């Protein structure tokens, strides 16, 4: 019998995760931790077995757009993959969005919610994308306080019943710009039935969602983000037909191939202003804040999955007379990856902790400043880490890492988007600068890092502590020296942020 290589396998993705367990033991009071553990273990089992195997089987099923029915009627229907259909039901039943709004864990609700997602999402083929936007939409509606829309949409967005659960899209990007959203060309016109939108949305993921939040310029408004208004759109009318929306095509993408990312024409789409008729970008920022936190978490869980598979494979693959797990250089490579993964995990959960404290209204003034800064920093840092780490992990499987039906190349292809959508690295660096410009933010950030370093000062991490202190000092003097020189400040933003 010729040799056959054992493929990598996954165990229970909660039981096998020492980092998550130790983090939750530190963060959650004993009673809460015990009640959450059961849920995590169940999701960990689904993630490591049922959904992981499903994901491998379902690999070639991608969303399909049908634009016309047999009789020539324009229907624009998207069929998502079988796994996505199950993921939607699972998301509702397990409260993957709802937990943050039920607030049973008070200010720790975000930690609770993201722990659940962290365990299961790597096996759900980026179903995290619609969930992130659903969560962002719920937060935006609540924060902007439009009671009519809250009553209409919140019960659906936070439902635990798959029959009534809605997801939401986030339609911002147009051909004119995904970064410079102020260039948006979609216009909003008044009609006897209410506001109607006319324009093109160039990237809309989760096009199968029941609703979306989007931006348009009410006729007569001035240019830029200030002249835009935030609108609520239900994608289908009462008769089930699309609400003045044409789905032109699905994008043919490098990764996230299960996500139905489409180009849309809005041709008289009925829409409701969420909060007045201006300041659309500012109002949309509530959504960005939440979806960027999901993005950071998504990087952490992508890296964790790459690690889990890599470590397992190292115990199965033999080269030069020993398992890879016994080869010092391979182990050193995995150790580097593990360190990056831990860093991404802690940064993403730090953003989640702060978001949870803000939403539960227990955050101090300092924590609010920190939250505004840590969100873009976590998004941009983990976005870069995820691409580098999944690339290294794929290489760790040798040629098998490059062969599609192992499922492994998907790790890298899906990670590449994390630094692009929800704001690119440069755009997020500039956002971090805007956050820093607020009086006191840099001091609060330093104090927070110093507090964390103090615990490690006398440990064997001493050399790392020194290195972090030096780079903090460097950043502080660079910001101080550049304040009088806006061009220099902007040019160095990415260096500071990364």
Binding site residues, ligand FAD, CB under 6 A: 170-173, 177-179, 203-205, 253, 256, 261, 417, 420-421, 423-424, 426-427, 430
C-alpha of 212 from chain center: 17
Contacts 24+ apart (CB under 8 A), 322-325: 324/396
- The reply on whether position 51 binds ligand MFK by CB under 6 A is no
Q: At a CB cut-off of 8 Å and minimum separation 6, what does 61 contact?
A: 81, 82, 83, 258
| Cβ proximity to ligand FAD, 227 vs 383, nearer residue | 383
Name the packing angle between helices 18-27 and 109-120 (round to 10°): 170
Pick from 386, 423, 444, 496: which binds ligand MFK (CB under 6 A)? 423
User: Which one of 20-28, 30-38, 40-48, 291-299 is the stretch in contact with ligand MFK (CB under 6 A)?
Assistant: 291-299
Least Cα distance to 246 among 421, 78, 62 occurs for 78
- The reply on whether position 493 binds ligand MFK by CB under 6 A is no
Pick from 123, 140, 186, 289: which binds ligand MFK (CB under 6 A)? 289
Residue nearest to ligand FAD (CB): 178
The nearest distance, CB 260 to ligand MFK, in angstroms, is: 12
Count Cβ atoms below 10 Å from residue 354 Cβ, excluding itself. 25
From ligand MFK, ligand FAD, none, interface partner of 426 (C-beta below 5 to 8 A by class): ligand FAD
- C-alpha torsion sign, points 435, 436, 438, 442: positive
Q: At a CB cut-off of 8 Å and minimum separation 6, what does 164 contact?
A: 155, 156
Residue nearest to ligand MFK (CB): 298
Least Cα distance to 349 among 122, 117, 175 occurs for 117
Pick from 205, 341, 390, 419: which binds ligand MFK (CB under 6 A)? 205
Pick from 11, 182, 343, 398: which binds ligand MFK (CB under 6 A)? 182
From ligand FAD, ligand MFK, none, interface partner of 253 (C-beta below 5 to 8 A by class): ligand FAD
The nearest distance, CB 118 to ligand MFK, in angstroms, is: 11
| Cβ proximity to ligand MFK, 167 vs 205, nearer residue | 205
The nearest distance, CB 255 to ligand FAD, in angstroms, is: 8
**Is residue 379 a contact partner of residue 350, using CB atoms and an 8 Å limit?**
no
CA distance 401 to 412: 10
The nearest distance, CB 153 to ligand FAD, in angstroms, is: 18
Count Cβ atoms below 10 Å from residue 362 Cβ, excluding itself. 11
Count Cβ atoms below 10 Å from residue 22 Cβ, excluding itself. 10
Window 162-181: residues binding ligand MFK (CB under 6 A): 170, 172-173, 178-179, 181
The CA-to-CA distance between both ends of the chain, in Å, stands at: 51
CA distance 56 to 133: 26
Distances (CA, A) of 476 to 1, 257, 306, 420: 64, 42, 35, 28
Number of residues that bind ligand MFK (CB under 6 A): 27
| Cβ proximity to ligand MFK, 310 vs 375, nearer residue | 375
Q: At a CB cut-off of 8 Å and minimum separation 6, what does 361 contact?
A: none
From ligand MFK, ligand FAD, none, interface partner of 261 (C-beta below 5 to 8 A by class): ligand FAD
CA distance 200 to 202: 6
The nearest distance, CB 422 to ligand FAD, in angstroms, is: 6
The nearest distance, CB 397 to ligand MFK, in angstroms, is: 23
- The reply on whether position 496 binds ligand MFK by CB under 6 A is no
Beta strands 245-250 and 211-218 are unpaired
CA distance 206 to 47: 22
| Cβ proximity to ligand FAD, 248 vs 426, nearer residue | 426
From ligand FAD, ligand MFK, none, interface partner of 204 (C-beta below 5 to 8 A by class): ligand FAD
| Cβ proximity to ligand FAD, 401 vs 423, nearer residue | 423
**Is residue 301 a contact partner of residue 118, using CB atoms and an 8 Å limit?**
yes
- The reply on whether position 97 binds ligand MFK by CB under 6 A is no
| Cβ proximity to ligand FAD, 204 vs 243, nearer residue | 204
- The reply on whether position 295 binds ligand MFK by CB under 6 A is yes
Q: Is 226 exposed, middle or buried (0-12, 13-18, 19+ CB in 10 A)?
A: middle
Pick from 65, 427, 461, 472: which binds ligand MFK (CB under 6 A)? 427
- The reply on whether position 306 binds ligand MFK by CB under 6 A is no
| Cβ proximity to ligand FAD, 49 vs 384, nearer residue | 384
Beta bridge partners of 194: 191
CA distance 490 to 496: 10
From ligand FAD, ligand MFK, none, interface partner of 295 (C-beta below 5 to 8 A by class): ligand MFK
Tokens 């969420």 sit on residue:
274
Q: Which residues bind ligand MFK (CB under 6 A)?
A: 128-129, 132, 170, 172-173, 178-179, 181-182, 205, 224-225, 281-282, 285, 288-289, 291, 294-295, 298, 421-423, 427, 431
């Amino acid at each position: 019998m010729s040799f056959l290589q054992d493929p990598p396998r996954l165990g229970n993705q909660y039981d096998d995760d020492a980092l998550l367990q130790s983090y939750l033991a530190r963060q959650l009071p004993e009673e809460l931790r015990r009640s959450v553990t059961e849920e995590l273990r169940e999701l960990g089992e689904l993630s490591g077995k049922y959904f992981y195997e499903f994901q491998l089987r379902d690999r070639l099923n991608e969303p399909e757009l049908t634009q016309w029915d047999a009789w020539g009627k324009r229907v624009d229907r998207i069929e998502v993959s079988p796994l996505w259909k199950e993921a939607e039901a699972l998301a509702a039943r397990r409260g993957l969005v709802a937990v943050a709004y039920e607030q049973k864990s008070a200010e720790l609700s975000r930690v609770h919610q993201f722990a659940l997602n962290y365990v299961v999402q790597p096996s759900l083929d980026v179903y995290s994308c619609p969930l992130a936007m659903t969560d962002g939409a719920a937060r935006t509606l609540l924060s902007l306080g439009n009671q009519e829309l809250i009553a209409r949409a919140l019960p659906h967005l936070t439902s635990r019943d798959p029959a009534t659960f809605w997801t939401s899209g986030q339609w911002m990007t147009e051909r004119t710009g995904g970064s410079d959203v102020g260039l948006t060309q979609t216009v909003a016109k008044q009609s006897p039935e209410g506001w109607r939108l006319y324009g093109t949305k160039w990237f809309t993921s989760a096009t199968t969602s029941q609703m979306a939040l989007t931006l348009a310029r009410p006729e007569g408004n001035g240019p830029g983000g200030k002249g835009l208004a935030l609108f609520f759109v239900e994608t289908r009318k009462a008769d089930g037909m699309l609400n003045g929306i044409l789905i032109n095509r699905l994008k043919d993408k490098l990764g996230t191939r299960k996500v139905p990312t489409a180009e849309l024409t809005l041709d008289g789409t009925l829409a409701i202003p969420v909060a007045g008729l201006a300041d659309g970008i500012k109002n949309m920022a509530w959504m960005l804040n939440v979806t960027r936190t999901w993005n950071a978490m998504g990087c952490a869980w992508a890296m964790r999955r790459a690690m889990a598979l890599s470590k397992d494979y190292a115990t199965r693959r033999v080269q030069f007379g020993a398992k890879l797990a016994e080869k010092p250089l391979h182990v050193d490579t995995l150790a580097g990856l593990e360190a990056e993964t831990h860093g991404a995990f802690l940064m993403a959960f730090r953003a989640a902790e702060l978001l949870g404290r803000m939403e539960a209204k227990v955050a101090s003034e300092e924590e609010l400043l920190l939250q505004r800064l840590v969100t873009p920093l976590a998004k941009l840092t983990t976005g870069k880490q995820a691409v580098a780490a999944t690339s290294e992990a794929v290489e760790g499987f040798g040629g098998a890492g490059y062969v599609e039906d192992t499922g492994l190349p998907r790790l890298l292809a899906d990670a590449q988007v994390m630094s692009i959508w929800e704001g690119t690295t440069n755009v997020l660096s500039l956002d971090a600068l805007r956050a820093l410009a607020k009086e006191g933010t840099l001091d609060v950030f330093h104090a927070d890092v110093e507090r964390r370093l103090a615990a490690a000062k006398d440990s064997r991490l001493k050399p790392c502590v020194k290195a972090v202190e030096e780079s903090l000092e460097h950043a502080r003097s660079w910001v101080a020296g550049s304040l009088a020189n806006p061009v220099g400040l902007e040019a160095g933003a990415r260096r500071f942020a990364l």
